[in-house]
Structure 1
Amino acid sequence: MKRLIAKGLMFGNLIEVTSPALVDRYKRAMKHLCGRETSLTDFHIDISGYSPEIGAELGDDLYLNPNGANRQFILLTTAQKHAPLLNARFSTSRGIIRQFIETNEAQLFALTARDAVAGELQNSVFEISTPAKLLEIRRITVEADTIGGHVADAGKLAKLIERFRQESDGWRDDLLIAEMITLARKTGDVTRVPIHLPQMSFEQPNFWTSHFGGLYVFRDVSFPAVISTLPRESLGPVPIAPVFDLTNRNQIADWLERNQLAEPIVQARGMDAAAVIRQKMDFILVEAADTLGLEIGDARRTELRSIAHRLGTSLPMEFQGLAALLRWIEAGGTWPRITSEHPAYFYTLRARAHKDRDLVNMLLSELAPMDVRQMFIVHKELFYASYARWSDRKRQYVADFLEREYVVDKQGARTALFGPEPGMEDRNRPDPKPARDLGPVTGPWGAARGRG
């Protein structure tokens, strides 16, 4: 993984912690949350305060995420909102922490100037020994305070002030006044500068989790479902039906269409479909060449074209399907009949613009695993696990490509592939295309024949 780190493709945008004061605050917060300490004097943290260096020191990547179910967090600075979330067990966790920071940024800025803020993403499930237990998670509540309890003390002081004002002889109550003075020394004047971190709750109807091999849970759609990366029989009884696994390609394709969750890239507005398809074909050729032990040189397009000529009829079906689609786009060739049974099918789709766009693109990256660029952007956990299994030459090619084509303009690349970030007007926007009766085998473009 050193190659990825050097190229800024792993552990990028982490917050460096080197100040003795911040290191001390972190240690006290860590002791407060998990009862453990670090001997490191400098390290990096993600949006939740997790440090990969401390995780390695302790031999425990879950030291801030007991049982992988109730993630704790340590905030030293509001700048953490820009950092990634490492070792994510739920796809919603980073968004929840970021929204909590942004909503309370002024308060958190003032609080972190004096102490670390520690908190937890709480749900009603404390152990997830079965998938059925996991699916009981529906709402996440965020609770936080400084290690010194400034928020709690400020709330207590505010109540004492109100009591002092309401009681006619409050000015004679020496114990009340003494308690107010003691708290005020710690919190400051809460009448002028209130200290308050509201308890925030977030619904979690649709999400991905790494538990049980990887599950996609969709409850807030017209046709709910659970999609498992492991055989569906391994899950046992779950309270949501149907349950698919990645081998159920026809059923997943039909489910995506019925819920209006994905669209063919050739119909996507503002997308250079030909360029995207051509790049997907390159990735497939690299995988094929690497599997066969063929020399790919710098894996430029001219070299990859030579490999395609050498493979001839042995070219992967994914490549052949995308090549037919490219011919239709660029030269008006025969309309390709790519159904959900075809290996190229899921390479031809992207998520529509809706609130779960990124989640659907995560699922599509599982179904189109040779598209390494999409995998890296939308599913880091899957990318790093796949990277560890690749040959060194494929690792080099992918790392060089991402450094050259993605790192220089991350937002531009995301917009080119997936469209602009969905705004509020997109989240509930009905799709203009009518639904189709797909039958048992799905094709992404209906019965169209021409290019219009």
Structure 2
Amino acid sequence: MNRLIKSGLMFGNLVHVASPTLVERYNRALRHLTGKTTKLTDFYVDISGYSPEIGFELDDPLYLNHAGVNRQFILLTTDQKRAPLLEAKFSTSRGILRQFIEENESALFALTARDAVAGELINSVYDMSTPMRLLDIRRVRIEADTTSGAIQQAQKLSTKVETFLNEEDAWFDDVLIAQMIALAGETGDVVRNPIELKEMSFDQRNYWSDHFGGVYLFQDVDHPALITSGEKTVLEDLPIKYIFDLSERNRIAKFLEFNDLVEPIAKARGVDAGAILRQKMDFILVDALAGADLNLTDRSRTDMRRLVREHAGELPEEFHTLAALVNWAENDGAWPRISSEDPAYFYTLRASDHKDADLVNMLLSELSSKDIRQLFICHKSLFYKKYARWSEAKKEYVVTFLTTEYQRDKTGARKALFGHKSPVKDIVARVGPWGAVKG
């Protein structure tokens, strides 16, 4: 994994905590949440304040996520919103934390100037002892305050100010006035500078969880289902009509189609389908030849075509299916009939335009895991597990590709692969704002 770390593909974009002041604030928050502290004088944290170094020190990678539920967090700076979430147990957690930080950015900026903000993502489930707990998770709400309780104190002061201004004899209440003065010394002027965080809660009906071998739960769709990467028998008592494991490709394909969750890449609006499919073919080619003692990095398109000609008989079925699809897309070739039993089927799809597109693309990345770019973008935990088992040749190719082709423009790559254009914008792009251009 050192190659990934050095290239910034693992533990990248973490926030460095090095000043004694921030370390002391972190320890106060850590003690407040867990009763533990760190002896480290500098470390890196993710969006939730989790540090892999502290996890190693405490021999507990879940020290802020006991039992893998109700993730706790420590905010030292609003810059953490750009960091990844490590040791994620739910696909929704990072998005919830980022939205919380962005919605409360000015308040959090003021609060973290003096103290750490500690909190928790609360979902009413406190353990995952049985699969039934998966269905008990309905909403996630956030509770947060500074370690000194500044928000709670500000709320107390606001209540007392209301009493002072509205009750007839409050002007003569020396005790009330003394309490207001004492609280104001801790919180500042809450009338002119209110200290508050928005009460926020989030629906969690469709999500991925790392529990029970990895599950994709879709409840808020027309035809609900659960798809598991692990043992299906563990989940069969759940009151869900459809439970599939990853081997049931035809049933998963029908589920995605019936709920209108996917679209063919070759027919998607506003994408270079040929380029996307050719790149997937390269990844499949590399996977097939990675054990052949070949140098696979820094290969030109001509080099890749030569490899295909030389090793055509060794390439898997999905490579040839995608080649036929590229021929249709770019050369008016015959439309290839691709059933869900074809190994290439899920490589040809992407999520359609809906609120759970990230979740669906995550599922598709597991069903088409030779596409290392999509796997890295959509399902990092699975990417790291598979990377550990790859040959040195494939590791070298993957790291070189991701650092030179993907990391340079992550936003552009994601938009090109998964972005959706509105029909109006698409029409304008094709014909111009005043109609078709006449020759």
Query: Which amino acid letter does the alignment assign opposite residue 336 of structure 1?
Result: P
Query: Which amino acid letter does the alignment assign opposite residue 45 of structure 1?
Result: V
Provide the residue aligned with 2:391 in structure 1.
Answer: 391
Provide the residue aligned with 2:401 in structure 1.
Answer: 401
Aligned 1:162-311 pairs, distance under 5 A: 162-291=162-291, 293-298=292-297, 300=299, 301-311=301-311
CA distance in 2, matches of 1:329, 1:286: 23
2:128 pairs with 1:122: no
Contact 2:139–2:202 (CA<8 Å) still a contact in 1?
A: yes
Gaps of 5+ in 2: 426-439
Show CA shifts across 1:121-176 (max 9, x none). Answer: 00111011111112210100101000000000111111112222233222332222
Query: Percent of counterpart pairs with the same letter?
Result: 60
| Worse overlay, 306-315 or 410-419 | 306-315
Contact 1:70–1:126 (CA<8 Å) still a contact in 2?
A: yes
Distance 1:287 1:299, change over 3 A: farther
| Superposed CA RMSD | 1.8
| Worse overlay, 335-344 or 324-333 | 324-333
Show CA shifts across 1:28-75 (max 9, x none). Answer: 000100111101111111111111111111121111001111100001
Contact 1:4–1:399 (CA<8 Å) still a contact in 2?
A: yes
CA distance in 2, matches of 1:60, 1:422: 46
How far apart are residue 420 of structure 1 and its match? 4.5
Show CA shifts across 1:154-211 (max 9, x none). Answer: 1111111222223322233222222111111101111111111232111111111111
Provide the residue aligned with 1:418 in structure 2.
Answer: 418
How far apart are residue 416 of structure 1 and its match? 1.1
Contact 1:286–1:304 (CA<8 Å) still a contact in 2?
A: no
Query: Which amino acid letter does the alignment assign opposite residue 170 of structure 1?
Result: A
Provide the residue aligned with 2:366 in structure 1.
Answer: 366
How far apart are residue 284 of structure 1 and its match? 0.6
Instruction: Give the alignment's TM-score, normalised by structure 2.
Output: 0.93
Contact 1:324–1:336 (CA<8 Å) still a contact in 2?
A: yes
Contact 1:350–1:361 (CA<8 Å) still a contact in 2?
A: yes
Aligned residues: 424
How far apart are residue 408 of structure 1 and its match? 0.5
Instruction: Give the alignment's TM-score, normalised by structure 1.
Output: 0.91
Query: Which amino acid letter does the alignment assign opposite residue 284 of structure 2?
Result: I
Provide the residue aligned with 1:152 in structure 2.
Answer: 152
CA distance in 1, matches of 2:328, 2:110: 59
| Worse overlay, 296-305 or 403-412 | 296-305
Provide the residue aligned with 2:99 in structure 1.
Answer: 99
CA distance in 1, matches of 2:408, 2:247: 36
CA distance in 1, matches of 2:168, 2:276: 75
Contact 1:353–1:422 (CA<8 Å) still a contact in 2?
A: no
Contact 1:44–1:51 (CA<8 Å) still a contact in 2?
A: yes
- The SS at the match of 2:73 is strand
CA distance in 2, matches of 1:180, 1:23: 32
Gaps of 5+ in 1: 427-452
Aligned 1:347-362 pairs, distance under 5 A: 347-362=347-362
Contact 1:232–1:245 (CA<8 Å) still a contact in 2?
A: yes
Contact 1:72–1:121 (CA<8 Å) still a contact in 2?
A: yes
How far apart are residue 329 of structure 1 and its match? 2.0
Contact 1:289–1:296 (CA<8 Å) still a contact in 2?
A: no
Contact 1:296–1:303 (CA<8 Å) still a contact in 2?
A: no
Provide the residue aligned with 2:43 in structure 1.
Answer: 43
Query: Which amino acid letter does the alignment assign opposite residue 181 of structure 1?
Result: I
